[in-house]
Chains A and B, each alone.
Chain A
């Protein structure tokens, strides 16, 4: 089955700085890689996703890059703000019929210092 590793486990940055979180996956059949933001006691919220047919995707301050050959993908948050503080999870799956569950990374606790 799929195995997703995520680093770092905690990340503290100053407001305005950039934050980068990295994930690797093991299953070459995986083709869908979403990133979620989760606040305490809440459901994960999709912040950006990427499919294996592209190498990069950007949405305002958030970007994701994918290297299929190396089986790793990264989340980049620029101009961080205190409200970006949360736990971020990467995930991977094969998006065919939607019958395959997401496999999550271990999570990164991001703290943005004002």
Chain B
């Protein structure tokens, strides 16, 4: 089946530092990658849509300068949380849809990254 590998699974960083989260599609080409954020006991909220070779599209209220998204290849998308603050602590998860001709596995999710900013 389609697999999305996400790293790191957990990260603790100090306030003011930056953290990069990577999502790789291992056996399919992810033209589009979606980035979600999930607070404890809450739903997944879409942050941005990452398109290979072009700028990401951010949802209303999400600061594009704080959450930098890069989708340089068909198999890799990264989310960088810049100048992290404790309120950025959350579960970040990526998702991709393999698309026509690449199987019928539905939207595939990465394993998530638990970010804790201290």
Contact = CB atoms under 8 A, between A and B. Distances in A.
A42 interface: yes
A10 to B, nearest CB: 10
Interface in B66-118: 91, 93, 95-100, 106-107, 109-112, 114
Interface residues of B, number: 26
A105 B45 CA distance: 10
Q: Majority SS of interface residues in chain A?
A: loop
B112 A42 contact: yes
Nearest to B110: A43
A94 to B, nearest CB: 12
11 contacts: A34-B106, A42-B111, A49-B106, A89-B43, A97-B99, A97-B100, A98-B100, A99-B49, A99-B51, A102-B34, A104-B45
